[in-house]
Structure 1
Amino acid sequence: MRTPVVLAAALLLCACGEGRQSVLNPSGHDALLVYDLAMVMFVGALVLWLLVGGLFVYVTRINPREMSRRLAEVLIIGGGVLFPVVLLGGLLVYSLPLMQAPREADEGMRVHITAEQWWWRVEYERPDGTLVTSANELRLPVGRRTGLVLNAHRVIHAFWVPALGGKVDMIPGRETYLSFLPEAAGTYRGQCAEFCGASHALMAFETVVMAPEDFEAWLTAEARDAAPPDTEEAARGAQVFAREGCGSCHTVRGTQAVGQVGPDLTHVGSRLSLGAGILGVAAPDFANWIAHTETLKPEVAMPSYDHLPAADLTALAVYLGGLE
């Protein structure tokens, strides 16, 4: 009996942890709806399991006898047809209205998110229709519903922030929609939840929920051009950036770098992570990423710049880290 007990305890304990990427830690209205639905379905499944198990024990252990044809027909029709129809129908009626809120279009802000391999293009639509471009990070105001317009490039991805809401597929050529109503400020982890290639597991993003006034201040700052280098080493790094052709793939607004292939780097130093959730944003992290990109993220489009002299690599990392 010891082994089954240990296995059962392990299964129960492995799902008890709460964190910033957990459906057990709902921090938004939509996530709470999913959590409540999961609890209702779990309780319903448990009751059904107990009824079926109890009936099985009764007819095989407690009262093992031959059934009459009438009783057998009652069990088959009642337990095999009527009961499942009523139970599943009730769950369906309960769950369908829950899908309306996360899909509804309203007058709130819209954020356009495109899933790439293997990073996230994020564009905030302002009231005048202009877009503020960022990457690999989503910021939202607390207490306000924000619409997310989801697209994908090349292959199917899935957008998922468990603490804030449900999961939606992102399909090339087809626009999908989701919305979040965060209820608690904090930082939550999102993840691509559809296998999309070699670096699928390395395609995460931070979701920062902020007070509305803080969010507006951040969005205003995010819309500005990049600040010029403020140190001699950062200026040297900007020269390395231009010399190595980084601007053919990346944009740094306010400079001649206008590439659209890779993430926008205008304010990359102010983000919480680098490489779609792989590294931090300190200068050594930038240097590590630049020199070992293909090792850190298999099959990524960006080549490793391991040929750069150490001084140039350091200067480039300082320049990128200063783009705040």
Structure 2
Amino acid sequence: MTKSAADGTASWPPPALDPAGPFAGPLSTLSWVLFAMGAVVTLIVLIALAVAVFGPRRWRTRLGGTRLVWIGGFAFPVVVLSALLIYGLGLTSHLTQEPEPGELRIRVTGEMWWWRVAYLDGQGREAFQDANEVHIPIGRPVVIELDSADVIHSFWVPRLAGKVDMIPGRRNLLRLQADQPGAYGGQCAEYCGGPHALMGLVVVAHAPKDYEAWVARQSQPAQTVMQMMPGRAVFQTAGCGACHTVAGTAFNGLAGPDLSHVGSRRTLGAGILPNNQGTMAGWISDSQSIKPGNRMPAYPVLTGQELRDLSAWLESLK
């Protein structure tokens, strides 16, 4: 079922021609221009084909003449395609400009097969991390710095911006802006092997005050009442801290997503499961049956009680 951003959920599949911000608008306009030009060219070709098959002999002879071949087969495509190229570059040139002083910057790194999201301060230093969600304030341009940790990925949130590749060893830039609060679905748009099709993300747009409150919460360790509950001990004995960080604890692994506020996220597994205690337990127990090929190992050795304790503790990290 497709849901709208207005009800707080990300629509799926993301509507590609329904812009929700000023940086997606030009791309939608360009798409319609290309569709229209394609329709015109198709019509011209069909008319020429009809003349060649059914037209008078005199028309058919002229249709195959050298002059018309040069005009229709060379000059017309060169002029039309050049004009479309110049128009498209002019329409979208501002989308990838270098960051200006004071612009909000977020670094998104594509990894097999999830998204590492780092929020940067005014000097471009990392303030805190999240995963598989990008939170932005409405009505304000946000510069997204796009990296890759392994292979080529591609960041695409159709309602907010166009597709931009994430290339190892190179940083690309993209601007987003949402005009209304809500959740906007996205997807890796470049085949990256394995469970590529299950590498989704969501951009959550907040009213400015709500965004500031969200940043303040994320900048601090989670305030959980379950710090000394059994789930934390299970997390430690199972070795989860070797791959995951939980702010305010000794767990500082870097291989997997930061779990400091995992309980506040909307989804698990890069957008494929709703985030609640039951799905969390299922993901920990056997993520490979849910998203085959992902880098989270299964934990069949954990008992049912241990899974309940661990998932309850992780759900409390908000």
Structure 2 CA distance for aligned equivalents of residues 309 and 66 of structure 1: 82
Aligned equivalent of 2:69: 76
The answer as to 2:304 corresponding to 1:294 is no
Show CA shifts across 1:163-191 (max 9, x none): 11111111111111111122222111111
Q: What runs of 5+ residues in structure 1 fail to find an aligned partner?
A: 1-17
What CA RMSD, in Å, does the superposition of the two structures yield over aligned residues?
1.9
The residue type paired with residue 269 of structure 1 is: G
**Contact 2:52–2:63 (Cα < 8 Å) also in 1:** no
Q: What runs of 5+ residues in structure 2 fail to find an aligned partner?
A: 1-10
Pairing partner for 2:230 from 233, 236, 239: 236
The residue type paired with residue 64 of structure 1 is: R
Aligned equivalent of 2:8: none
How does the TM-score come out when normalised to structure 2?
A: 0.91
Show CA shifts across 1:94-141 (max 9, x none): 111122121012231111111111111100102253421111111111
The answer as to 2:29 corresponding to 1:33 is no
**Contact 2:154–2:163 (Cα < 8 Å) also in 1:** yes
How does the TM-score come out when normalised to structure 1?
A: 0.89
Pairing partner for 1:169 from 142, 151, 165: 165
**Contact 2:138–2:207 (Cα < 8 Å) also in 1:** yes
Aligned equivalent of 2:202: 206
**Contact 1:186–1:208 (Cα < 8 Å) also in 2:** yes
Structure 1 CA distance for aligned equivalents of residues 71 and 176 of structure 2: 42
The answer as to 2:148 corresponding to 1:152 is yes
Following superposition of structure 1 onto structure 2, how do residues 278-293 of structure 1 map, counting pairs within 5 Å?
Answer: 278-293=272-287
The answer as to 2:75 corresponding to 1:119 is no
The answer as to 2:312 corresponding to 1:318 is yes
Aligned equivalent of 2:89: 96
**Contact 2:165–2:172 (Cα < 8 Å) also in 1:** yes
**Contact 2:187–2:199 (Cα < 8 Å) also in 1:** yes
**Contact 1:103–1:178 (Cα < 8 Å) also in 2:** yes
Percent identity among equivalent residues?
40
Q: Structure 2 vs 1, CA of residues 166 and 305 (structure 1 numbering), >3 Å: closer, same or farther?
A: same
**Contact 1:113–1:148 (Cα < 8 Å) also in 2:** yes
Aligned equivalent of 1:60: 53
Structure 2 CA distance for aligned equivalents of residues 254 and 70 of structure 1: 77
Show CA shifts across 1:186-208 (max 9, x none): 11111111111211111111111
1:143 Cα shift?
Answer: 1.1
Aligned equivalent of 1:197: 193
1:157 Cα shift?
Answer: 0.8
